[in-house]
Amino acid sequence: MVHPFLILHWLEQQIHTHLGDHVTHMWFVMLVLILLAFLASRCIKEVPTGMQNLMEAAITGIENLIEETMGPKGKAYFPMLATFALFILVSNLIGLIPGLYPPTANLNTNAALALTVFAMTHIVGFKEHGVSYLKHFMGPILALAPLIFVIEIIGHLARPLSLSLRLFGNMYGHEIVLMIFIALVPILMPVPMMLMGVLVAFIQTFVFTLLAMIYIAGALEEAH
């Protein structure tokens, strides 16, 4: 249940390619982000104005959040986490414009993001601790290790599932609620729902980025 007329869907039909809506809209989001980054960094000034000001505020906010949750070691993962945050935020907000569709309202996009976080967590863990990263899965008592290992593996596999399903459910649910409200009362009634959509977009971005940070920070710390 999406917006009845999607601009990019129409464009895609004109050139007869068989791309999913989420793919074309993801490319659109990428274009928007590249354009934003270009506009912000075109002429960097000591005293920022306009676009540079906005982007600097966003970047500083993410940086402070990383500093708070991951400590000094987290600085190295700033590019990846900031990319996640900006991409998800723009993707979520784009759904509020009529004729566009949030790519995060499709499970495929979210699964890709969540699997990236999942792979990154373990790559970081093995890079930081070597083989002794496996101690993270063993628990404190060696005799109980086989039991704890299975539980830990299930717990780690549940992470990408919950990350992707949470974002998907929120964005898709919002789309459906909006469509139902539009079908019931088309005038003025969906506006409060769209206002809540702005809130949901920001909160879900915050939650996804924060959970990614916490997972990576968990892989960075020593086994207990």
Which positions lie near another protein, rule CB under 8 A? Answer: 68-69, 162, 165-166, 168-170, 172-173, 176, 203, 206-207, 210-211, 214
For the bound state, the minimum distance from the C-beta of residue 20 to another protein, rounded and expressed in Å, comes to 16
Q: CB–CB of 87/79 below 8 Å?
A: no
Q: CB–CB of 19/4 below 8 Å?
A: no
For the bound state, the minimum distance from the C-beta of residue 45 to another protein, rounded and expressed in Å, comes to 30
- Residue partners of 70: CB distance under 8 A and separation at least 6: 77, 213, 216, 217, 220
For the bound state, the minimum distance from the C-beta of residue 39 to another protein, rounded and expressed in Å, comes to 31
CA atoms within 13 Å, Cβ hemisphere of 141 = 4
Pair of tokens at residue 126: 């093995």
Please say which residue, 112 or 214, places its beta carbon nearer to another protein. 214
For the bound state, the minimum distance from the C-beta of residue 141 to another protein, rounded and expressed in Å, comes to 27
For the bound state, the minimum distance from the C-beta of residue 67 to another protein, rounded and expressed in Å, comes to 13
Q: CB–CB of 21/114 below 8 Å?
A: no
Please say which residue, 28 or 175, places its beta carbon nearer to another protein. 175
3 backbone dihedrals φ, ψ, rounded to 5°: -55, 135
Q: Tell me the C-alpha distance between 107 and 30, whole Å.
A: 18
Please say which residue, 34 or 203, places its beta carbon nearer to another protein. 203
For the bound state, the minimum distance from the C-beta of residue 11 to another protein, rounded and expressed in Å, comes to 26
Calculated CA dihedral for residues 161, 162, 165, 171, nearest 10 degrees? -150
One-letter identity of residue 4: P
Please say which residue, 40 or 160, places its beta carbon nearer to another protein. 160
Please say which residue, 105 or 124, places its beta carbon nearer to another protein. 105
Please say which residue, 144 or 180, places its beta carbon nearer to another protein. 180
One-letter identity of residue 88: I
Q: CB–CB of 110/167 below 8 Å?
A: yes
